[in-house]
Structure 1
Amino acid sequence: MSALAVRQHSRRPLGADVESADQPPSTSSIAYNGARRVLDGNWTGTSTVPSHALYPHQWSWDSAFIAIGLRHLSPARAQRELETLLTAQWADGRIPHIVFNPTVPLGAYFPSPDFWRSSSAGDLAGAPTAVETSGIVQPPVHALAALLVHEADPEVSRRRGFLAHVYPRLVAWQRYLTERRDLGGRGLASIVHPWESGMDNSPCWDPPLSRIRPADRGTFQRADLDHGCPADRPTDLDYGRYVRLATTYRDHGYADGPDTALFAVEDPAMNALLIASEHALAGIATAIGADPSDHLVRGEQLTTALLKRLWNEDAGLFLCQDVISNEPIRERSVCGLLPLILPGLPEEVVASLVATLRGEHFGVGTTTRLAPSYDLRGAAFDPARYWRGPAWFNVNWLLERGLRQYGETATADALRDELLGTAVTSGFAEYVDPVTGEARGSRDFSWTAALAMDLAVRSR
């Protein structure tokens, strides 16, 4: 078992617990049953949509987090979730951030398949022809998800040949990121679009985005505002820049290179999850009788590069690096805390990360219920607007794992309890106000439900 693997737990549904007449259902039980309702409702038969209204297709890192929760409900269904996603992998190894459902009308989501034109614009990069996808990626949570799904029921996994099937695909995905996306030449992967970070609208992207001329507002039609409050969503200016970047990347055939990238940032969260995936792949390799040493060595090398390149002692967390200007981006984002999930960090780095998480900039355990996505004291902080302050469940789930790994049990327990309670009271919201817990974005959001299910089972 890898250093990042969790211990196996009983999968007996929490809803099956018998509650006495004078003892109300526990928060864990309510969360589990609510999460099961959401996941069943968002299941399409082959995968799970994040939200039927706002996100009606399959998303990459969403499916990884969803599989982590689904493993407690149905390991076979969790395996299917990941397998479905991997059928859309490109020949160059990339896993696209969206796999489009052809039965969904084009106007239901933008950018739609006719914008990305993956099967034609991406032909030189090996885009699949049987399905339309986007051309950008999202953080690599997939190997960790695959290992946890396998460990939930190794017998079912071995019978289906699950790990043997996904392992070479996951290795190819890792190598795409470590080789084709090392745009800075210093051993770390770069994102070429803010959407690739998963933290789409973070203030961290404002400095490099300021160089981008936005697409004309009349050239695209946003669909997100039909289903979400404008105050919760990115501005038209930001969206115009996102569209310009995606259009340029598409028109260059989705080719990766330092000479063609208009936006290139080394993101500590993306790279932390890349390293976590190497450790998970070591666990997968061991499970199928392969040699794990290459993954362990790569994990160590990447960790060394992360510490050397992105750690900032004065800020007390990791900073993003603008590869084009070769300057650090001096914004405190929760992405700079996520390396806490990695094993073997220096003690002083761990202590500083935990202090920053608890301190005035993020306030966990003092002023906030959940870790905000951005610095509470930052000039761009907004508790409502997409990734500019609200708390997200997947990020806090990762932080809970990191805290627990380094023996910060009391803080991890408190964060877990807040996650479970807030998931229930917010209606399994996409994200929430970090101080009040007020629901924002979509409701009945799949990764919120899936990760609440995981925490509910692990809290027993």
Structure 2
Amino acid sequence: MTALLDAAPVADTTAARPLRAAALRVLFTNWTGTGTVPSRSLYPHQWSWDSAFIAIGLRHLSPRRAQRELESLMSAQWADGRVPHIVFNPCVPAGQYFPGSDFWRSATAGAAAGAPAAPLTSGIIQPPVHALAAALVHEADPAESARRGFLARLHPRLEAWHRYLAERRDLGGHGLAAVVHPWEPGLDNSPAWDTALHRVVPAEACSFRRADLDHSAAADRPTDLDYARYVRLARDYRDAGYDDTKTEFAFAVEDPGFNALLIAAEHALAGIAEQTGADPGPARARAAALTRALSTRLWNPDLGMFSARDLHDDTLVPVRGVTGLLPLIVPGLPADQVNALLEATSGEHFRLGEVHLVPSYDLTGPEFDPNRYWRGPSWFNTAWMLHRGLRAVGADGAADRLRQGILRDAAATGFAEYLDPHTGAGRGVRDFSWTASLALDLLATGPKEER
């Protein structure tokens, strides 16, 4: 790990100014006028959890623009409460991204579920980071937020979003939200989904054309077989009218990372409710119930960390992925689980502080691939979330080292989408919005000793 240990640190003084300026350039370039695309090439539309992370960084640049980022996304919310994972820009040529709006057919296939006539969207979801982002954006400029009625307008939408997850997505009946497509937890081709995906009959290869390979190396992306299974799952959901009660889900999983983010968002939503004069009780009750369910149903004592649960056979998936570390962000997690997670982060499987950021999958696992999307590479958003979790449980030394690594690697890779955890080489596209935005956030908040 010479490359990591010998790399020059990014100082929190004038030396950080070029990094801040470069991050601002990325966000200005990727701004469309109403929202921010993750990448002008590979991802030319607005993505759900991307916009939440982007708003978290934008609040240090322009709290009002950060508010608009979230407002733009939430304006595409469906009547049933779901926040779709993509909001399509009608100005982007149809063939530039697949699956595009003509595949999802939200306005027609999703009409019974309350999809808006415009804008057109996808029909699946992504992790619910939005209430946390809204709370942080409000804190950046409470006076401007109050003047614009930002929280008052977003609160009912966020409440409906969380109710959708609690009432429509508790497919296992044990109080946790389930995901029904590998794109929903955000870790698309993680080895954690392999067993469940193997049950999915892939779509015919001639029925779609991958646009992602026009912009990124095939070795960095999911395989054609995985993609064919993604298409089949999305098509089946669409053809069932995006109805969570009628769809026969070939893929249904309770993911610890998704639910940990939902718990953090419920706590943030309770605070938003108090700020707006609404009742914080429902959000607090959901947070408490989710925490109990997470700590009992998804804790894997054999691995010493959290695991996804496959609802097909109601078993824990025996895979060590970064999603199993993210519950560190959950307030009130049992102390023995917190201690075990801290041990897991620094152990042989993730080697926090010895490799670049946090690998997305077990470094010793047979499926580990340092280049291929979520099968090993380190991502900046999961590192930021783990940094937040480490800070929350008082592991400040580890949090500060991770923060420094995020800033260093963001600068060294030109704000890469993700990177090789061993070499630090950037993978995927460059000038990636959430990498730039979360670097801005860490530059603005500083290490513990500067607070």
Q: What is the TM-score when the length of structure 1 is the normalising length?
A: 0.94
Counterpart secondary structure, 1:196: coil
- Output aligned runs, 1:230-269, within 5 Å: 230-257=218-245, 260-269=248-257
| Distance in 1 (alpha carbons) for counterparts of 2:291 and 2:303 | 19
Note if contact 1:58-1:101 (Cα within 8 Å) is conserved in structure 2: yes
1:371 and 2:358 matched: yes
Select 1:169's aligned residue among 151, 157, 166.
Answer: 157
Superposition deviation, residue 297 in structure 1: 1.9
| Distance in 1 (alpha carbons) for counterparts of 2:234 and 2:285 | 34
- Output aligned runs, 1:205-244, within 5 Å: 205-244=193-232
**Corresponding position of 2:345:** 357
Counterpart secondary structure, 1:67: helix
| Distance in 2 (alpha carbons) for counterparts of 1:329 and 1:344 | 24
| Distance in 1 (alpha carbons) for counterparts of 2:341 and 2:207 | 43
Superposition deviation, residue 255 in structure 1: 0.6
Superposition deviation, residue 67 in structure 1: 0.1
Note if contact 1:319-1:331 (Cα within 8 Å) is conserved in structure 2: yes
Superposition deviation, residue 347 in structure 1: 1.1
| Distance in 1 (alpha carbons) for counterparts of 2:398 and 2:19 | 20
Superposition deviation, residue 46 in structure 1: 0.5
| Distance in 1 (alpha carbons) for counterparts of 2:426 and 2:18 | 18
**Corresponding position of 1:386:** 373
Select 1:436's aligned residue among 423, 433, 437.
Answer: 423
1:133 and 2:121 matched: yes
Deviation by residue 1:316-354 (Cα, 9 ceiling, x = unmatched)? 110000011111111110000000001111111111001
4+ residue segments displaced more than 2 Å? 28-31
**Corresponding position of 2:4:** none
**Corresponding position of 2:22:** 34
Select 1:75's aligned residue among 57, 63, 73.
Answer: 63
Select 2:269's aligned residue among 272, 281, 286.
Answer: 281
Counterpart secondary structure, 2:356: coil
Segment drifting more, 321-330 vs 97-106: 321-330
Residue type matched to 1:394 in 2? N
Counterpart secondary structure, 1:422: helix
Note if contact 1:181-1:257 (Cα within 8 Å) is conserved in structure 2: no
Note if contact 1:197-1:267 (Cα within 8 Å) is conserved in structure 2: yes
Select 2:388's aligned residue among 374, 398, 401.
Answer: 401
| Distance in 2 (alpha carbons) for counterparts of 1:203 and 1:69 | 30
**Corresponding position of 1:45:** 33
* Structure 1: gaps spanning 5 or more residues: 1-13, 20-24
Note if contact 1:370-1:435 (Cα within 8 Å) is conserved in structure 2: no
- Output aligned runs, 1:311-322, within 5 Å: 311-322=299-310
Superposition deviation, residue 259 in structure 1: 6.0
Counting aligned pairs with the same residue, the percent is 63
Residue type matched to 2:25 in 1? R
Deviation by residue 1:112-154 (Cα, 9 ceiling, x = unmatched)? 1100000000000000002110000000000000000000000
Residue type matched to 2:221 in 1? R
| Distance in 2 (alpha carbons) for counterparts of 1:29 and 1:271 | 36
Note if contact 1:272-1:342 (Cα within 8 Å) is conserved in structure 2: yes
Counterpart secondary structure, 1:158: helix
1:57 and 2:45 matched: yes
Residue type matched to 2:380 in 1? F
Superposition deviation, residue 258 in structure 1: 7.5
| Distance in 2 (alpha carbons) for counterparts of 1:31 and 1:393 | 15
| Distance in 2 (alpha carbons) for counterparts of 1:394 and 1:328 | 25
Counterpart secondary structure, 2:127: coil
**Corresponding position of 2:329:** 341
**Corresponding position of 1:458:** 445
Residue type matched to 2:395 in 1? E
Deviation by residue 1:180-210 (Cα, 9 ceiling, x = unmatched)? 0000000001000000011111011110000
Deviation by residue 1:27-63 (Cα, 9 ceiling, x = unmatched)? x323211111100110011000000000000000000
**Corresponding position of 2:7:** none
Note if contact 2:295-2:334 (Cα within 8 Å) is conserved in structure 1: no
| Distance in 2 (alpha carbons) for counterparts of 1:176 and 1:259 | 16
1:153 and 2:146 matched: no
| Distance in 2 (alpha carbons) for counterparts of 1:312 and 1:273 | 19
Superposition deviation, residue 404 in structure 1: 0.7
| Distance in 2 (alpha carbons) for counterparts of 1:182 and 1:298 | 12
Residue type matched to 2:231 in 1? V
| Distance in 2 (alpha carbons) for counterparts of 1:139 and 1:31 | 28
Counterpart secondary structure, 2:193: helix
| Distance in 1 (alpha carbons) for counterparts of 2:284 and 2:230 | 36
| Distance in 1 (alpha carbons) for counterparts of 2:200 and 2:351 | 33
Counterpart secondary structure, 1:72: coil
Note if contact 2:240-2:247 (Cα within 8 Å) is conserved in structure 1: no
Note if contact 1:375-1:381 (Cα within 8 Å) is conserved in structure 2: yes
Note if contact 2:240-2:246 (Cα within 8 Å) is conserved in structure 1: no
Residue type matched to 2:171 in 1? L
| Distance in 1 (alpha carbons) for counterparts of 2:93 and 2:385 | 34
Superposition deviation, residue 290 in structure 1: 2.1
Coordinate RMSD, CA, aligned: 1.4
Residue type matched to 2:376 in 1? G
Segment drifting more, 292-301 vs 159-168: 292-301
| Distance in 1 (alpha carbons) for counterparts of 2:99 and 2:31 | 22
Aligned length: 438
Counterpart secondary structure, 1:194: coil
Q: What is the TM-score when the length of structure 2 is the normalising length?
A: 0.95
Superposition deviation, residue 369 in structure 1: 2.0
| Distance in 2 (alpha carbons) for counterparts of 1:226 and 1:239 | 15
**Corresponding position of 2:320:** 332
1:96 and 2:84 matched: yes
| Distance in 1 (alpha carbons) for counterparts of 2:294 and 2:105 | 34
Note if contact 1:232-1:441 (Cα within 8 Å) is conserved in structure 2: yes
Segment drifting more, 401-410 vs 249-258: 249-258
Counterpart secondary structure, 1:404: helix
Counterpart secondary structure, 2:60: helix
**Corresponding position of 2:408:** 421
